[in-house]
Amino acid sequence: MAEYKVKPGRELRIAVSGKSGCGNTTVSTLLAQTLGIKLINYTFRQLAAEKGLTLAQVIENAKTDDSYDKYVDTHQVELARQESCVLGSRLAIWMLKEADVKIYLLASDELRAKRILGREGGDLQQIKDFTAMRDSEDTKRYKKLYGIDNNDYETVADIKVDTSCNVPDEIVHNILEELAERGFIEKTGV
């Protein structure tokens, strides 16, 4: 199997976005591990730990205080600017404007709900309903905070990947092949 690395003497910043259940965390993690670069996925969970709050407290506070979202979103970008990395977040492709490559992951609402069910358990219909509500709330919040329409990724993303067609390793392999073809990385073994 081929191995890949960032070309010597250059830095590489890859932004990966997608809605909940599209494989954002999995794909971002595998890309970062394969390339031997940092994964940045700073979330409310890390913010809660830093502030000595529970995740539930941060989520509740964020409903009425935009500073939580803004801090998480800007802090991720600050971290990403420091070194080669994969930044995986819902807004990565919009927020990290200087990313070398912007990847948007897609999956049907049905598949996303099934993945969330597999990860967290529960009732499929409740997950579908909650995910639809969350998508809508996220879109409203991103428009309010940043003027970003996270449903309008066509003109922002360099690479669009339907994650329903392959398993994560195949998805990452296809992305790596595309990155090599574009000259961002090189194969080091066969």
The 10s digit of each residue's pLDDT in 135-181 is 998 899 899 999 999 999 999 999 999 999 889 999 999 999 999 99
DSSP-derived secondary structure for 11-61: --EEEEEE-TTSSHHHHHHHHHHHHT-EEE---HHHHHHHHT--HHHHHHH
Q: What residues pair up with 38 in beta bridges, in sequence order? A: 85
Place of tokens 């339907």: 162
In sequence order, the 6+-apart residues with CB closer than 8 A to the CB of 52 are none
The 10s digit of each residue's pLDDT in 34-77 is 999 999 998 888 999 999 998 779 888 988 999 999 999 999 99
| Confidence at residue 190, expressed as pLDDT on a 0 to 100 scale | 61
Place of tokens 């809660």: 48
Residue 1 pLDDT exceeds 60:
no
Q: What is the mean pLDDT of residues 15-26?
A: 94
Residue 184 pLDDT exceeds 90:
yes
Sign of CA dihedral 49, 129, 114, 90: negative
Q: What is the mean pLDDT of residues 17-45?
A: 93
The 10s digit of each residue's pLDDT in 96-129 is 999 999 999 999 999 999 999 998 899 999 999 9
Residue 82 pLDDT exceeds 90:
yes
Place of tokens 């940092």: 38
Give the span between the Cα atoms of 25 and 68, in whole angstroms. Answer: 21
Burial profile 29-57: b = 16 or more Cβ within 10 angstroms, e = fewer: bbbbebbebebbbbebeebbeeeeeeeee
Q: Tokens in use for 145?
A: 């905070």
Which pTM was predicted?
0.91
| Confidence at residue 189, expressed as pLDDT on a 0 to 100 scale | 72
Q: Is residue 69 a contact partner of residue 145, using CB atoms and an 8 Å limit?
A: yes
